[in-house]
Amino acid sequence: MAGPWRLHKIQPEANAYRFYSLHVSPGVFGDWALVKEWGRIGSPGTLRNEWFNTEAEAIAAALALKAKKERGGYQAVL
């Protein structure tokens, strides 16, 4: 497994307290899931899985999404 990566974006002036969480885990059929969860800090988030054929593909997608979120103002906390 890869990750987990947890990102926060905190902007008190906009009342924005957001989190984004990523991790890669194996599926039961030899595939790999990029598990994404996001929402307001302190609340249960929205959870989505994106499936890949290999672990390397899933990790590459996770790192690309992490970089995109960091460009958007999120900061790594883990």
CATH of the domain at 26: 2.20.140.10
Share of the chain above pLDDT 70, in %: 96
Q: Which domain holds residue 12?
A: 2-76
Binned at pLDDT 50, 70 and 90, residue 3 comes out as confident
Which of these, 72, 4, 75, 59, lies nearest to 37 by C-alpha position?
Answer: 4
Q: How far apart are CA 52 and CA 4, in angstroms?
A: 17
Distances (CA, A) of 64 to 50, 57, 60, 61, 67: 13, 11, 6, 5, 5
Q: Which residue has the higher pLDDT, 3 or 27?
A: 27
Domain count for the chain: 1
